[in-house]
Amino acid sequence: MKDSITSIANFQTKTSPRAYANSVVRFHHSFSFEDRVRAAEKAGWNVFQFPSAMLTGGDLLSDSGTTSLTLEQLSAMLLGDEAYGSNWGYFKLLERFEETFGISQNEWEVYLFHQGRSAEFALFNEISDKNSIIPSNGHFDTTHANIVGAQMEARNLYSNPEDVDPNFKGNINIQALEELLSNSDLNVPIVYTTITNNTGGGQPVSLENIRKASALCKKYKKPFFLDACRFAENAWFIKNREPNEKDRSVQEIIHETFSYCDGFTISLKKDGLSNMGGALLLKKESSFTEKYPKALNSIRDHQILVEGHPTYGGLTGRDIMVIAEGLKTVVTEEYLGSRISLVQQFGESLTSKGIPTLEPFGGHAVYIDIDKFFADTKLKREDFGGIALSALLLLKGIRLAELGAFAFGVFDPKTKKETFPKHNFLRAAIPRNKYEISDMNYVAECVGKLYEDRHKIPKAIPVYGRELSLRHFKARFELEYSA
Ligand code: F0G
């Protein structure tokens, strides 16, 4: 029985990934189908626990920290200054932040962290207040968990499907935001907007939507924050999709975007084009510092306690050089054009095989719509088809991430019931500067074969960790055919 479950993934393909992107070359080792079955069983079919060396077909688990460094970045790394205080690269990075985001060092406080979530932790713990709500167009899972960990509610105000702009499906629901802010019984410390909206399908947010959200925040005297992980990709979409924006440079659009916010958190592992790094930036005089006058100092204390001296903030001098160089590349239209077109071509390759995806495609990933994928099969949401599909793809050396019924669902051990999120996606996130369309075609072919055979895809039964927080990182599964 076990063999027949895994045999569904044991098919021949016409395409294959490029050799040099392949772990076979990197690790001088080859892996058989059976090796992968054994490793996947050992990992409890949890993609996070599966050895990356076996992913010769494409590791699309995350676009975070997985970039290949450019030659310019590798060279800059050699100039990394590993001084304990005020390393040379720190000043370069501050200058680059000014150029990239259009902000002035005199007006902004910069806190470096080793990654985005530690910047979020610092911010949310500073403003922690029971019974308060932090709205967003879509909080990422760790952002959500950091808000909840600081005793607050993370509320996603997705756009209504009826009136969403199809080019900017990541927009925050302005009407819902105004209803929330105008209710004086509710406590809303800050308002967040994530660019691009990862949880909502990697979808961009329009400049018009950012302007409106920030104007509402001004009206109700609320600080407006950005989760700016993929700010450059978002600006590229604004330039190419928003009316009257095509003649402006990506850089100008980025400057306008950041001119509306009082602060932002950023994981530099995405559009910083680096393998590590994060930051929190706060405007020194803003509605935020008015409301939290001690924050600038106490966040600095927190940073010193957990990350080290403020001028390196958990990063090596080499990391800092890599980020300063990466931010230079990421805003170029040459880089962004080829990046976004790879994602689009991959998306088209999947849809040409009939695979249901979220369209239009976003900037960093293609999201397979799991509810539609299994719509004509016996699998229901509680059978976690997205987990089962990603489990079988491991056997072809491909890793995708379920961001749906399992990752964002919640199990109540008392009622034994699952509460499901709005979206049920399997995400194929493309690492930057690493893959070509030939690699992506192999992934599309394998997903396509499993789509043809979708009636044979087993259920994924969580056998450990179903009731845990952040359960997708910890759970173990068994695969089982439905009767
Ligand atoms: N915000 C967004 C929108 C993110 O996508 C992520 C990370 C974070 C914050 C946290 O940043 O990883 O540096 O601590 N997203 C990764 C992903 C993990 O795969 O989408 P971090």
CATH number of the domain at 375, please: 3.90.1150.10
CA nearest neighbour of 178 among 148, 225, 222: 222
Task: Determine which helix (DSSP H) or strand (DSSP E) holds 35, and give its type and residue range.
Answer: helix 33-42
* Element (DSSP H or E) covering residue 483: none
The beta-strand segments (E) located in 204-311 are: 224-227, 263-267, 278-283
Please check whether residues 275 and 155 belong to one and the same domain. Answer: yes
Residue 229: CB within 6 Å of ligand 1?
yes
* Closest protein CA for atom 11 of ligand 1: 116
Instruction: Report which secondary-structure segment, H or E, holds 402.
Output: strand 401-403
Cα 246 to ligand 1 centroid, rounded to whole Å: 29
pLDDT of the residue at 199: 82
Find out whether the beta carbon of 142 lies less than 6 Å from any atom of ligand 1: yes
Assess whether the C-beta atom of 363 lies below 6 angstroms from ligand 1: no
Indicate if ligand 1 lies below 6 Å from the C-beta of 108. Answer: no
CATH code of residue 135? 3.40.640.10
Task: Work out which ligand 1 atom sits closest to the CA atom of 269.
Answer: 13
Look up the domain containing 473 and give its range: 2-63+333-480
Strand 263-267 relative to strand 224-227: parallel, antiparallel, unpaired?
Answer: parallel
Residues 34 and 166 in one domain: no
Distance (Å, rounded) from C-alpha 466 to C-alpha 470?
Answer: 10
pLDDT at 21: 61
- Identify whether residues 137 and 174 lie together within a single domain: yes
The Å distance, Cα 472 to ligand 1 centre, comes to 15
Rounded to 5 degrees, what angle do the CA atoms 476, 477, 481 make?
A: 175
Ligand 1 centroid to residue 333 C-alpha, Å: 23
| pLDDT at residue number 162 | 80
- Per-residue pLDDT tens digits of the chain, which is 483 residues long: 556 789 999 999 998 877 666 666 677 778 899 999 999 999 999 999 999 999 999 999 999 999 999 999 999 999 999 999 999 999 999 999 999 999 999 999 999 999 999 999 999 999 999 989 999 999 998 899 999 999 999 999 998 878 889 999 999 999 999 999 999 999 999 999 999 998 878 899 999 999 999 999 999 999 999 999 999 999 999 999 999 999 999 999 999 999 999 999 999 999 999 999 999 999 999 999 999 999 999 999 999 999 999 999 999 999 999 999 999 999 999 999 999 999 999 999 999 999 999 999 999 999 999 999 999 999 999 999 999 999 999 999 999 999 999 999 999 999 999 999 988 999 999 999 999 999 999 999 999 999 999 999 999 999 999 999 989 999 999 999 765
Is there an atom of ligand 1 within 6 Å of 227 CB?
A: yes
**Which two tokens mark 186?**
């509710």
Residue pair 156/179 in contact by the 8 Å Cβ criterion: no
For residues 257 and 208, the answer to whether their CB atoms sit within 8 Å is: no
**Beta strand ranges found along 292-377 (DSSP E):** 365-369
Same domain? 344 vs 311: no
Domain boundary among 329, 358, 376: 329
User: By C-alpha distance, which of 11, 65, 97, 443 is closest to 276?
Assistant: 65
Q: In whole angstroms, what is the distance from residue 483 CA to residue 473 CA?
A: 29
The residue contributing the CA closest to ligand 1 atom 8 is: 116
Verify that 138 and 275 share a domain, yes or no: yes
Report CA(396)–ligand 1 centroid distance (Å). Answer: 26
Please tell me the total number of residues recorded for the chain in this structure: 483
Contacts of 148 (CB under 8 A, 6+ apart): 154
Count: domains in the chain: 2
CA distances from 6 to 37, 77, 368, 478 (A): 7, 44, 21, 12
Could you give the CA distance from residue 418 to residue 381 in angstroms, rounded to a whole number?
9
Same domain, 359 and 407: yes
207 and 266 both lie in a single domain: yes
Q: Tell me which residue of 396, 372, 390 sits closest to 428, measured CA to CA.
A: 390
Q: Is 269 in the pocket of ligand 1 (CB under 6 A)?
A: yes
Cα 269 to averaged position of ligand 1 atoms, centre (Å) = 8
Q: Is the CB of 50 under 6 A from ligand 1?
A: no
Give me ligand 1 centre to Cα 142, in Å.
7
| DSSP structural state of residue 435 | -
Note the pLDDT of residue 448.
98
pLDDT of residue 119: 98
Collapsed DSSP state (helix, strand, coil) of residue 277: coil
- Helix or strand or coil: residue 233? helix
Given this model, what pLDDT does residue 482 score?
Answer: 64
Q: 3-class SS at 20? A: helix
What distance in angstroms lies between residue 267's CA and the mean position of ligand 1's atoms? 6
- Give the per-residue pLDDT at 2: 57
Q: Is the dihedral of CA 202, 208, 210, 216 positive or negative?
A: negative
